Amino acid sequence: MVWAAGRDWWWSRSLRCHLFLGALFRLLLIAYGHYQDQWGPAGVKFTDVDYRVYTDAARYLHHGQSPYKRHTYRYTPYLAGLLWPNVWLHPLWGKALFSLCDLAIALLIYACLQASQPAATRSHSSLPPPARLALSGSLLWLYNPFSMAISARGSCEAVVLLLILLTIYGFQARAYFCAGLVFGLSIHFKLYPIIYALIFYLSLSQRSRFWAKVCLLNGAQVRFTVATLVGLIGSTYVAYRLYGQPYLSEAWLYHLARKDIRHNFSPYFYMLYLTHDVDDAGLSLVTFLPQIVVLFVISVVMARPADLWFGLFALTAVFVAFNKVCTSQYFLWYMVLLPLVHHRLRFSLGQWLGMGALWGAAQGSWLLAAYYLEFDGTNTFQVLWLEGLAFFSANVGLLSKLIREYRTQYVVA
């Protein structure tokens, strides 16, 4: 009885009410993080180290200097500009901005899901099924503790995710030129959204054959492609004119030649750690080839408007799992797309909880070995590598299960 009453209260609340609660939780988390940083145990900081890098770059910008004078600042200069108020207003400005982007993402998820429902099924009752579907997807992101914590710690992932959601919304509204501009800007901010380029492009064609989709362009493909190039090249050119070669070296070339030997979730990390002094192009091919092949296949198979959202989710999950560097922030890249497709995955609550428990247990087991390496100094590199393989297997297994369920529902539909 109490459970039913609580459930009814939960679903009867408006999106505005939930947005207020989501904002309150994020503000409390930011306040807790500030307290932890100021008065918590030394060496245990809540704030992400990258947030200090952003702030230092903004400080250089404030004094009329290049943000790339800050060592390890390897992002677009526009990010330093967004965090400029960190210097002259308050150091928590950036965290509040990222959390605000989080809330905007929840709004966009709601708008995308609501617009995807046939108009005839909508009504003006308090909570019709289409509105409930849109609300449930929005709340999956809004109350996601992972997204709350990442933004409250000062990671800029929410900015890029917001641009990706804006691209999807523009696609859904058939505003392909605007969607392309935003998509190009998202690639400028962080290179990984480029994995969506092929499936976006192919989904705009009604032709059945792959080569016909690629070569026989239509107006929508031209508008989207031109706008993407304008958004990407234009934003990059302006940044280059402002900061020259240091910008290209730090924001682009560094990432192309990057070798990250710090322990991370990637199954490749131990190999890269042991071979960091070896300049072998074959190693790069080993890490990139499986990833590229799977991304290409998914882009071609799911290049239909009806499959686009799930295709984007699958592409992101594969990219993160197969990437040679994988950290906790990367998980948000596919988590933000899951609310758009959750209604096509008709698992029971127990099944969802079981899959979540498997994913969390595999991650927690890795984190335990990482803790002993990072804080205790114990040599757990080989254990970490094995845990990384286990986590990779869990991710691939769960994604395979999701794809099978999606295809089953699609065939039945």
Would you state the pLDDT for residue 214?
Answer: 82
pTM of the model: 0.91
- CB half-sphere exposure, 129, CA atoms < 13 A: 7
Inter-axis angle of helices 157-172 and 308-322, nearest 10: 150
Helix segments in 275-380, DSSP class H:
281-301, 308-322, 331-335, 338-341, 349-374
Residue 159 near residue 35, CB atoms below 8 Å: no
Q: Where are the domains of the chain?
A: 14-38+45-115+129-344
Residue 147 near residue 158, CB atoms below 8 Å: yes
**What string of pLDDT tens digits covers the 413 residues of the chain?**
545 555 555 666 788 899 999 999 999 999 999 999 888 776 678 898 899 999 999 999 999 999 999 988 999 999 999 999 999 999 999 999 999 999 999 999 999 998 876 543 443 344 446 678 888 899 999 999 999 999 999 999 999 999 999 999 999 999 999 999 999 999 999 999 999 999 999 999 888 788 888 888 899 999 999 999 999 999 999 999 999 999 998 888 877 666 666 778 888 888 888 877 766 656 667 778 889 999 999 999 998 888 999 999 999 999 999 998 888 889 999 999 999 998 888 888 899 999 999 999 999 999 888 888 877 778 888 888 999 999 999 999 999 999 999 988 654 44
**CB-neighbour burial class of residue 285 (10 A; exposed 0-12, middle 13-18, buried 19+):** exposed
Would you state the pLDDT for residue 259?
Answer: 65
- CB half-sphere exposure, 196, CA atoms < 13 A: 33
Would you state the pLDDT for residue 206?
Answer: 85
Would you state the pLDDT for residue 270?
Answer: 84
Sign of CA dihedral 290, 293, 297, 298: positive
The amino acid present at 216, given as its one-letter code, is: L
Alpha-carbon distance of 338 to 206, in angstroms, equals 26
Q: How far is CA 246 from CA 57, 62, 211, 228, in A?
A: 13, 18, 40, 24
Would you state the pLDDT for residue 251?
Answer: 87
Would you state the pLDDT for residue 126?
Answer: 43
Alpha-carbon distance of 361 to 353, in angstroms, equals 12
Would you state the pLDDT for residue 293?
Answer: 93
Alpha-carbon distance of 394 to 402, in angstroms, equals 12
Sign of CA dihedral 50, 142, 228, 258: positive
Would you state the pLDDT for residue 412?
Answer: 45
**Two structure tokens written together for 37:** 């940083």
Alpha-carbon distance of 20 to 2, in angstroms, equals 24
